[in-house]
Chains A and B, each alone.
Chain A
Amino acid sequence: MRKTIIKNMIAVAVLLCFSFCSCQQLEAIKDCYPNTPQGNFEALWNIMDTHYCFFELKQRDYGVDWDEVHDRYKTLIDDKMSDLSLFEVLSNMLGELKDGHVNLYGKYDVGRNWTWKTDYPSNLSPEIRERYLGDDYNIAASGCFYTILSDNIGYLVIESFSGSIPDSKLDAILNWFSICNGMIIDIRGNGGGILTEAEKVASRFTEEKILCGYVKYKKGPGRNDFSKPEPVFVKPAKDRLRWQKPVAVLVNRECFSSANDFAVKMKALPGTALFGDRTGGGGGLPFSSELPNGWSVRFSSAPMFDADMNDIEGGIDPDYSVSLSENDRAKGIDSLIETARKWINDMILNP
């Protein structure tokens, strides 16, 4: 029996050695922060430092030095400060990045920086858009409306990619527009949503697989620990109706995230042109994490690029820059829709 005990103990000791090795290795890597204002501040700064993907870009565009941001905001943290004050300081710190995908979700509010859209004219009048849609427009899905304009051009409004537009509905839209000479897709004000929805719509406008951009992702905590750029393609929707006539896409500064990605994809397709203002951007796939006090933080973690490897975080320029003029607005005319109509009609006459 003594032999048994010794054998058992040796076996267990060996196994415990393995266990302790791994546990200690893990503890050396893992950092825990206390649930105090200072701990939450350090946790947030560190989460961003090790996971956020646009530091280089933000330094280039806005002069943001994340280390300097740490030192500056650390002086504002006091362990006796209220949750509300802490939230304000942390939100302001994140706001330095001027990234619409960076948010702090607290108990009372969502910390955000929306200057990417609020600093620019929207070039969209919902009242005028409703006038173009008329009273008897069709509804395909929530936030997705369509009608045929008087010069036989299909007009499709996609207000958001947050909800699903079923394939059958897309078939119905394209079928409805089959008599039209061209199509206008109005995504002004579309703040994004599900990326696959944007891809699904774009896949109806190509007959072949087309390179539309690249994507990288963070593969480590270093600020430049990225994977190599991987190509992203628009692939034609299989066994579904596809559109082969001219398409004009209307964009503005409010086109963000997956709407921005939709614009990038559509711009890469032949027979398609973008009209309006530069898009709002949001060219980083977002990720979420959490602070010790339970507040949630969202940030960009996988940068996306266009087909020429230009970053799209700051948006993309339209093919035809058009603003909604005050003169047209007063007359109830949408300058962007009118320019797009003219372009489609010209394309039909001079293909």
Chain B
Amino acid sequence: MKTMIERKTDNSRFFEVLPRLASIFLIVLFTTVVNAQNVTMVGILPSEKEAVEDFSVRAGLGSATDEYLSPNEYNGFSIGIKLDRMSRRNEKKMFCYSKNRSSLLFCDMKNEAGNGVQLEVAGSVVHVWETPLLHYKYYDLLVGPSVCGSIDALYNLRNSNNPANVHGMLAAGLEFDNLFRFKVGRLPIALNASFNMPFTGIFFVPEYNLPYYLLFEERLYGKTIHFMNPFNVTCLYNDVAFFFPVGKNQLSLSMSMDCTVHNLGGNATVISHCLFGLGYVHRFEHKYNGR
């Protein structure tokens, strides 16, 4: 078509995603060259018969472009909570770490022109089974499969006929955890760099112009459930957290980034968040299979 030639392709969005991806790379690289020092029991890694919970309150920025609602990018302020729970499971001579991550966030966004408001509520639950691939005195590399369920609802206050869109995902993926223990002066610090990428599963998003009215009232489901793979959905989660003791307690300072990019159903979608969190870490006794 004539306009396909005349239309300008703006790659600015690609270059917006690029620094986020580059930062993931740099963070992982950084974590590998940190000079590790003495070992202490700080951090998210539990010892035998122990579980560790990190409950954090988070705030930061969010960005969403969902062509089902609007081709424009909406940006705004995000707040949320996150609970990481890690326990150790012993199976005969083998052991693995069982990790749960539940998060909920709310984002209030505006378009560039400042005359449109879009709200976002997103929740996810991830479960990971990780085994130590590398284990040193000051460093552990844990790798394992993950399953995740997430739902992301966007509500555009200007659209009267198609005001909302929901993206849902049930997927399997991989998680990497880089855990470092070192000291700054006399302060023992743990650093945990997590990286998760769901790469296969099912993804719910309505087809192109399928109104939710037809979906629910007339039960026209169309092709709303899609099989996802790394080439049609990119979903990344990266979290870097410092754990340090404060008196008898342990706190965490974290920065997490997530990005979901897909073109399923014919509408391009880019959703990303960058959140900073302050968490309270709780270690407690945990028995597995009564042992």
- A binding-site residues for B, Cβ under 8 Å: 1, 3-5, 7-9, 11-12, 15-16, 18-35, 39, 42-43, 45-47, 49, 51, 53, 67, 70, 105, 107, 195-196, 199, 215, 217-221, 225, 227, 230, 232, 285-290, 292-294, 296, 298, 301-302
Contacts and interface: CB of A to CB of B under 8 A. Distances in A.
A202 to B, nearest CB: 13
B48 to A, nearest CB: 24
Interface string B1-36: 111001111111110011001001100110011000
A26 B72 contact: no
A294 B70 CA distance: 10
B211 A294 contact: no
A31 B222 CA distance: 25
Contact of A290 (B72, B208, B223, B262): B72
A183 B119 CA distance: 45
Interface stretch (B75-83, B94-102, B231-239, B282-290): B231-239
B2 A67 contact: yes
Contacts of B220: 215, 217, 227, 230
A70 B6 CA distance: 12
B263 interface: yes
A220 B266 contact: yes
Interface in B200-258: 207-211, 213-214, 217-218, 220, 222-223, 230-234, 236
B268 A30 contact: yes
Given A24-B14, A290-B70, A219 B230 contact: no
B184 interface: no
A105 B67 CA distance: 18
Given A18-B234, A28-B9, A43-B71, 16 more contacts: A12-B195, A16-B24, A22-B231, A29-B268, A30-B268, A31-B8, A217-B207, A217-B209, A217-B210, A218-B208, A219-B222, A221-B208, A287-B211, A289-B71, A290-B116, A302-B214
Contact of B234 (A7, A22, A31): A22
A12 B266 contact: no
Contacts of A21: 230-231, 234
A181 to B, nearest CB: 33
Nearest to B6: A42
A8 B28 contact: yes
18 contacts: A7-B134, A12-B25, A15-B236, A25-B231, A26-B268, A30-B263, A31-B7, A31-B10, A31-B71, A35-B113, A67-B2, A70-B2, A217-B209, A217-B214, A219-B207, A219-B222, A292-B112, A294-B116
Interface stretch (B37-45, B85-93, B147-155, B156-164): B156-164
A32 B13 contact: yes
A4 B134 contact: yes
A179 to B, nearest CB: 34
B13 A30 contact: yes
Contact of A288 (B162, B195, B234): B162
Contacts of B208: 217-221, 225
A292 B72 contact: yes
B261 interface: yes
Contact of B270 (A18, A26, A67): A26
Given A19-B21, A217-B210, A289-B70, A32 B3 contact: no
A48 B66 CA distance: 17
A225 B265 CA distance: 13
A49 B10 CA distance: 19
Contacts of A107: 115
B223 A219 contact: yes
Given A31-B9, A287-B161, A22 B113 contact: no
A235 to B, nearest CB: 11
B2 A16 contact: no
Contact of A42 (B1, B7, B134, B159): B7
A232 B214 CA distance: 10
B71 A8 contact: no
Contacts of B213: 195-196, 285
B261 A22 contact: yes
Contact of B113 (A27, A196, A199, A293): A293
Nearest to B9: A31
B232 to A, nearest CB: 7
B214 A9 contact: no
A32 B12 contact: yes
A8 B32 contact: yes
Contact of A34 (B8, B24, B217, B270): B8
B197 interface: yes
Most central of B9, B139, B223 by chain A CB within 10 Å:
B9
Contacts of B71: 31-32, 43, 47, 289-290
Nearest to A227: B222
Contacts of A195: 213, 217
Given A42-B7, A67-B2, A287-B162, A27 B13 contact: yes
B50 to A, nearest CB: 25
Contacts of B270: 26
Nearest to A107: B115
B114 interface: yes
B207 A35 contact: no
B178 A8 contact: yes
B234 A23 contact: yes
A115 to B, nearest CB: 22
